Amino acid sequence: SYELTQPLSVSVALGQTTRITCGGDNIGTKNVHWYQQKPGQAPVLVIFRDTNRPSGIPERFSASNSGNTATLTISRAQAGDEADYYCQVWDTSFTYVFGAGTKVTVL
């Protein structure tokens, strides 16, 4: 089965930029989606189809996908960006696969 690898945690200084990676075999050939989940809340879609932001998601959130790594970038980090972030792909065996999640701490 397909697996996605994310770092357990990352930290970023207020106002700075952080990047969250999502590794997978030839992940660049798949559509990658990203979700933000704040404590006690449901996940929220922040990026779909590699690079697209849903309406209402700030431009500070961007993403890329190439080779074996997809990356979510949070620019000008704010305290409200503290959350768990999950990457997700759809596998050809009709399985939706999530990464284990990355906890982002804003210092």
Residue pair 68/3 in contact (Cβ under 8 Å)? The answer is no
Amino acid of residue 17: T
**What does the per-residue mask of binding to another protein show for 42-81, with x meaning CB under 8 A?**
xxxx--xx----x---------------------------
- Contact flag: residue 36 with another protein (CB under 8 A): no
CB of 30 to another protein, least distance (A): 9
Neighbour count for residue 80 (Cβ, 10 Å)? 10
CB of 73 to another protein, least distance (A): 19
| Three-state secondary-structure class, residue 17 | coil
- What is the distance between the alpha carbons of residues 98 and 96, in angstroms, rounded to a whole number? 7
Contact pick of 5, 21, 31, 71 for another protein (by CB under 8 A): 31
Backbone angles phi, psi at 10, to 5 degrees: -140, 155
Neighbour count for residue 31 (Cβ, 10 Å)? 15
Contact pick of 36, 101, 104, 106 for another protein (by CB under 8 A): 101
Nearer to another protein, 30 or 107 (CB): 30
Binding site for another protein (CB under 8 A): 31, 33, 35, 37, 41-45, 48-49, 54, 84, 86, 88, 90, 94-101
